[in-house]
Amino acid sequence: MALIVQKYGGSSVSDAQSIKRVAKRIAEAKRAGNDVVVVVSAMGDTTDELVDLAAQISPVPPQREMDILLTAGERISMSLLAMAITTLGVKAKSFTGQQAGVFTDAVHGKARIVDVVPFRIRETLAKGQVAIVAGFQGVSSGNDVTTLGRGGSDTTAVALAAGLGADVCEIYTDVDGVFTADPRIVPTARKIDRTTYEEMLELAASGAKVLALRSVEYARRYDVPVHVRSSFSGAKGTMVTGTHGDQIDPNASHDEQEEAVMEDPIISGVAHDRSEAKITVVGVPDVPGQAARIFEVVAGSGANIDMIVQNVSAASTGLTDISFTLPQGDARSTMAALNAVKDELKFDELQVDDQIGKLSLVGAGMKSHPGVSARLFGALRDAGVNIEMISTSEIRISVVTRADSLDEAVRAVHTAFQLDSADGEAVVYAGTGR
């Protein structure tokens, strides 16, 4: 008997029929003798629809009200799922994030979990019942409802798994696991059987939304094994754990362990992201302190910046341009904050561009393999894709391209690194990819 936390994403519970189907899987896991806690997302594209609805009411809705609105989506699916499971003769009870003991800070829209006290969940399990928890939500110390950021149900699931000491956290979604690229863009993408928290963190941070970034951070911190798999098939998915796994025998000699690590793939995958914008500060005087001041102002606006590029200044003018990328949703407030200090910073103008795409090649093996960047840039050249920005880490290379050439770029790079699968196309079972 095991304690399992299962999370079902929106596309797995998009209508009444799907909710009944998922309920059957949950009842089977329970009847097999396990303790089962289920985290559920809002049905289908409900969260996006609620965001669109709010935008029709107010251009900048108060964030507290936004959170109350969005958490309604998960309340609908949790109660319907509890009903469906009960109909099958298995007792189930649903709980909001607050009732489940998910405590967060007070940053509406992207709250961080500070503590999980799953008292009522334990009580429910002790009675032999299935506990259903609304994903993506918690409560602040001021007793306000908060949300954890888009895709946050993954984080709820991993946090509960950690808090309950679960044996595994199963993330059920609309594809068979984590692939070497998004199967919606690259049908020949290959399923990854095992990967590490480190590589999954880079993939998630680079836009592979199959797991929310914070859920991977949480899993790594508390060493929660995560199994990403499809709710539409019985296939084994992707195990995300601390090491690549079974090929490394802790009792093997140092040389044998080294060899096992050498056999790990050089590249784990190609991620893409369409959610960023680029701001360029044009004509900045090239003197010490300017970058510090610009990024102080940007930080003050609350934006998380990603890539930064500064041009060599033109000798004749002593002026330079500084570009950086940030989430599209933060561009407006950041532009306003920078414009407010235009006279102090003495730049010429600000430009914003939301038609950019970011491609990232991720793999822990690349740090010891020369020629990875050359092959990446060569593939983009052959595909006729222009590179606008570049950034690198030990296990990732990212480039910014035009948004409309991103899909083409991802396919070209995937093929150039021989990641294409020989066994047919990946299945996308449901969802709109929104």
Enumerate binding residues for ligand ADP (CB under 6 A).
Answer: 9-12, 41, 151, 173-175, 178-179, 181-184, 208-210, 269, 428, 431, 433
CB of 69 to ligand ASP, least distance (A): 12
Piece of the chain touching Mg ion by CB under 5 A; list 9-17, 18-26, 92-100, 328-336: 9-17
Measured from each CB, the residue nearest to Mg ion is 151
Q: Which two tokens stand for residue 343?
A: 């006279």
Q: Which is nearer to ligand ADP, 11 or 96 (CB)?
A: 11
Q: Which is nearer to Mg ion, 172 or 197 (CB)?
A: 172
Residue 178 binds: one of ligand ADP, ligand ASP, Mg ion, none (C-beta under 5 to 8 A by kind):
ligand ADP
CB of 154 to ligand ASP, least distance (A): 6
Q: Cα(360)–Cα(199) distance, rounded to whole angstroms? A: 12
CB of 26 to Mg ion, least distance (A): 18
SS3 category, 334 = helix
CB of 192 to ligand ADP, least distance (A): 8
Q: Which is nearer to ligand ADP, 238 or 325 (CB)?
A: 238
Q: Cα(64)–Cα(46) distance, rounded to whole angstroms? A: 18
Beta-bridge mates of residue 57: none
CB of 39 to ligand ASP, least distance (A): 9
Chain mean position to CA 279: 23
Q: Which is nearer to Mg ion, 98 or 173 (CB)?
A: 173
The amino acid present at 170, given as its one-letter code, is E
Residue 179 binds: one of Mg ion, ligand ASP, ligand ADP, none (C-beta under 5 to 8 A by kind):
ligand ADP
CB of 31 to ligand ADP, least distance (A): 24
CB of 283 to ligand ADP, least distance (A): 38
SS3 category, 88 = coil
Residue 290 binds: one of ligand ASP, Mg ion, ligand ADP, none (C-beta under 5 to 8 A by kind):
none
**Given the rule CB under 6 A, which residues bind ligand ASP?**
9-10, 41-42, 47, 73, 135-136, 150-154
Longest dimension (CA), the chain: 80
Q: Which is nearer to ligand ASP, 11 or 280 (CB)?
A: 11
Residue 152 binds: one of ligand ASP, ligand ADP, Mg ion, none (C-beta under 5 to 8 A by kind):
ligand ASP
User: Between β-strands 319-327 and 308-310, what pairing exists: parallel, antiparallel or unpaired?
Assistant: antiparallel
CB of 134 to ligand ASP, least distance (A): 10
Q: Cα(300)–Cα(70) distance, rounded to whole angstroms? A: 26
Please, which residues have CB within 8 angstroms of residue 267's CB and are 6 or more apart in sequence? 180, 361, 362, 363, 365, 366, 372, 417, 419
Q: Does 363 bind Mg ion (CB under 5 A)?
A: no
Piece of the chain touching Mg ion by CB under 5 A; list 64-72, 144-152, 199-207, 422-430: 144-152
Q: Which is nearer to ligand ADP, 61 or 187 (CB)?
A: 187
Alpha helices per DSSP H over 233-326: 254-262, 290-300
Q: Cα(82)–Cα(281) distance, rounded to whole angstroms? A: 52
Residue 208 binds: one of ligand ADP, Mg ion, ligand ASP, none (C-beta under 5 to 8 A by kind):
ligand ADP
Please choose, from the candidates 291, 294, 299, 402, the residue with its C-alpha nearest in 3D space to the C-alpha of residue 353: 402
Q: Which is nearer to ligand ASP, 67 or 286 (CB)?
A: 67
CA distances from 72 to 86, 119, 144, 235 (A): 22, 23, 14, 32
CB–CB of 148/104 below 8 Å? yes
Query: Which of 97, 151, 152, 163 contacts Mg ion by CB under 5 A?
Result: 151
CB–CB of 416/269 below 8 Å? no
CB of 82 to ligand ASP, least distance (A): 18
Residues 155-174, interacting with Mg ion (CB under 5 A): none
CB of 147 to ligand ASP, least distance (A): 8
Please, which residues have CB within 8 angstroms of residue 407's CB and are 6 or more apart in sequence? 185, 272
Please choose, from the candidates 41, 321, 259, 302, the residue with its C-alpha nearest in 3D space to the C-alpha of residue 171: 41
Is the four-CA dihedral 362, 363, 364, 368 of positive or negative sign?
negative
Alpha helices per DSSP H over 266-341: 290-300, 328-339
Piece of the chain touching Mg ion by CB under 5 A; list 65-73, 145-153, 160-168, 306-314: 145-153
Q: Which two tokens stand for residue 340?
A: 């407010």
Residues that bind Mg ion (CB under 5 A): 9, 151
